[in-house]
Structure 1
Amino acid sequence: MNKIVYFFTALLLTGSLIAQAQQSKPILRVGLIADIQYADVASRGTRYYRNSLKKLRDCVEDLNKQKVQFSLNLGDIIDRNPKDLDSVLSILKGLKKPIYTTTGNHDYHGITDNQFLYKKLDMPAEYYSFKQKDWLFIMLNTNEVASYANVAGTWKEKELTTMVDSIKLAKGVNAEEYNGGISSRQLNWLDGLLAKAQSQHQKVLIFSHHPLDFSRGFTALNSQEILHVIAKYNCIKALFAGHHHSGDFGYHSSIPCITLEGMVETSDQNAYGFLEIYADRFEVKGVGRTKSYKFPIE
């Protein structure tokens, strides 16, 4: 009898240890990068443009060492000159795993053909999504409708005017030339994508350059419309953004909104992170100025 009790006790302990080991190993480990904002120009204020290249090299080396499955770049890889793109992209090519990018407002400086930019950044489309395990990653383009994004003379110009007028009427503070929004077409695409994800019981993470909430003055031009669509679905587990270099955090309803710190800031402190997704939680592990967070998956 004692042998039988011992056997089942050992079996239960083994099962418990296996379960603990599975919970301690992430399902996905993802690199997070925002606002490299490299430029071959002198530093200004807290922005050390040239220093971004060394920071990025260190970041790429660490992402490879930590064996991320892929990385996410949330925009503004350069500050002002398209000629600087190659300097940054040559370093990013050192990543052993794929990197998925969305644009930032600074990336459009000097660009007259948006498709050239998307192709240069190896983006499959202006905005897109992809699946990993049972997670859906949505890469919004909050620069689609913006004064700097070559919308003059297109159907998007009218949508931009409507967004700006709406903000001014509401006495909002984000009608700035460095902010952009998403078009009605992208909004409908997002709505349909989320409806499908929810019906298929997928978990969703949304990434954009401009924050959708908090970061006062830096949010997307039509962030309230976007949040209205997001509020319809409980499959969304977090919103990630860049643009506001000091970083920010808050909850929209129960959804964590994480604004990542910008790499370009300070002379020597780096800023990037790792997103680790487990069966029961996900964590952001920040490096340098990037803050760390932990959230249960409900």
Structure 2
Amino acid sequence: MGYPNGLVAQAKQPLFTFGVITDVQYADIPDGRSFLGVPRYYRNSILVLQNAIQNWNNHQNISFSLNLGDIVDGFCPKDQSLNAVKKVVNEFNNFNGPVYHMIGNHCLYNLPRSALLPLLNIHGDDARAYYDFSPIREYRFVILDAYDVSAIGWPIDHPNTVKALNLLNTKNPNEDKNSPNGLSNLERRFLKFNGGVGNEQLKWLDDTLQDATNCNQKVIVCCHIPLDPGATSKESLLWNYDEVMDVIHRYDCVKVCLGGHDHKGGHSVDSRGVHHRVLEAALECPPGTDAFGYIDVFEDRLSLIGSDRMASTEMVFNR
């Protein structure tokens, strides 16, 4: 599928361009529905990814691609999990450039961190999945680990699991910790399929943003779980999004936060002028439709050119 001509042509060439896709959630199982009743096309999602790779390769100027998490679905039969992850990773490897992955809850339903991270080429110490990179001197990408504190992915006796379960038991009285029944407003985020950023990662984020400021870099923060209530449903927020945003708002270098997880997508600009763009899911594309895009990066804005079900978005920096 091609891209719409919805954005005004810009005279200046972008500094660089990168591809984006999220929530492929492939599984070799019949189509189903989400807990909200939205159709999910488990087998077709890998065709959406294949179309994305073909488009990015044909574009030629795309420097790298970003996968914002959830490459396989939680309903994938567990005896197929390893092969399913490898199958999707192999599709990403058909892209003519680097691919940067982040982990999502569905990834962790299938494989523990120790098995998952090497397959995604994430090599953090102590199974951490946060890192940063700079495609050019002027820009830095910060990839957060949204399941740092989580009830999934870590061994059951791991301190991060214990902390997560204690938090859920405190905040969510439901027997089913994936149910928001009875929870009000922003408290509805305290669900087992979400997670949080731990203290060590918060310190790393602070140090990284300070370094980016010292280097006069603009920063794009990427996190599978969204960081702003204006861009997503209350049930799809990072547990401690407020703490993360407190760190981000200490600096003027962060211009955009990209996320997945909430399949319908969204866009907001927060009180400090930071854009939050939650991307639409590949999983929910009926056969013959697509949801992926590429982002042109300029000095003063990002331009997302989306295909089909992914909305094109102009993100002009306010400062």
Same structural fold, with TM-score higher than 0.5 when normalized by the shorter chain: yes
Alignment of 1:1-16 (within 5 A): none
What's the TM-score, normalizing by structure 1? 0.88
C-alpha deviation, 1:213, in angstroms = 1.1
Seen in structure 2, the aligned counterparts of structure 1 residues 162 and 224 have a Cα distance that, compared at 3 Å, is farther
Cross-structure match for 2:121: 122
User: Pairwise mapping of residues 139-150 of structure 1 onto structure 2 (< 5 A)?
Assistant: 139-150=143-154
Residue matched to 1:273: 293
Whether 1:175 aligns to 2:175 is: no
* Structure 1 stretches of 4+ moved >3 Å: 161-171
Structure 2 distance, partners of 1:259, 1:23, is 27
Cα displacement string for residues 46-86 of structure 1 (whole angstroms, at most 9, x for unaligned residues): 10000012111111000111121000000000003333112
Is 1:244 equivalent to 2:262 in the alignment? Answer: yes
Work out whether 1:186 is the aligned partner of 2:211: no
Q: CA deviation at 1:165?
A: 5.8
The letter of the residue matching 1:213 is D
Q: What residue in structure 2 maps to residue 33 of structure 1?
A: 21
Aligned partners of 1:204, 1:106: CA distance in 2, in Å?
Answer: 27
Give the residue type in structure 1 aligned to 2:203. N
Superposed, 1:112-261 pairs within 5 Å as 112=112, 114-125=113-124, 126-133=129-136, 134-161=138-165, 163-164=167-168, 167-168=171-172, 172-214=187-229, 215=232, 216-253=234-271, 254-261=273-280
Contact persistence 1:135–1:202 (CA under 8 A): yes
| Cα distance in 2, alignment partners of residues 296 and 249 from structure 1 | 12
Q: For the residues of structure 1 that align with 2:134 and 2:214, how far apart are their CA atoms? A: 15
- Aligned Cα root-mean-square deviation (Å): 1.9
Which ranges of structure 1 fall in alignment gaps of 5 or more residues?
1-20
Encode CA deviations 1:160-192: one digit per residue, 9 max, x unaligned: 245436755995001111101111111110011
Is the alpha carbon distance of 1:69 and 1:140 closer, same or farther for their aligned partners in structure 2, counting shifts above 3 Å?
Answer: same
SS of the counterpart of 1:30?
strand
Task: State the 1:279 CA deviation.
Answer: 2.8
1:55-94 alignment runs, 5 A limit: 55-67=48-60, 68-80=62-74, 81-94=81-94
Aligned residues: 277
Distance 1:37 1:249 in 2: 22
SS of the residue corresponding to residue 305 of structure 2 reads strand
Q: Work out the CA distance in 2 between the residues paired with 1:166 and 1:200.
A: 41
* TM-fit CA distance, 1:266: 2.9
What are the ranges of 5 or more consecutive residues in structure 2 without an aligned counterpart?
1-8, 34-38, 75-80, 174-182
Amino acid at match of 2:190: A
Output the TM-score relative to the length of structure 2.
0.82
Residue identity opposite 1:292 in structure 2: S
Structure 1 residue identity aligned to 2:91: I
- Whole-Å separation in 1 of the counterparts to 2:266 and 2:249: 20
Tell me the distance in 2 between the aligned counterparts of 1:22 and 1:42: 43
What is the distance in 1 between the residues matched to 2:246 and 2:172?
19
Report the identity percentage.
29
- CA shift in 2, pair 1:192/1:75, >3 Å: same
d(CA) in 1 for partners of 2:208, 2:123: 17
The structure with more radius of gyration: 1
Deviation at 1:226? 0.7
- Aligned equivalents of 1:186, 1:165: Cα separation in 2: 23
Q: Structure 1 residues 250, 193: CA separation in 2 closer, same or farther (over 3 Å shift)?
A: same
Further displaced range: 151-160 or 172-181: 151-160
Q: 1:249-291: CA deviations, max 9, x gaps?
A: 1122211100000000032221011111123322111111111
CA contact (8 A) 2:291 2:307 kept: yes
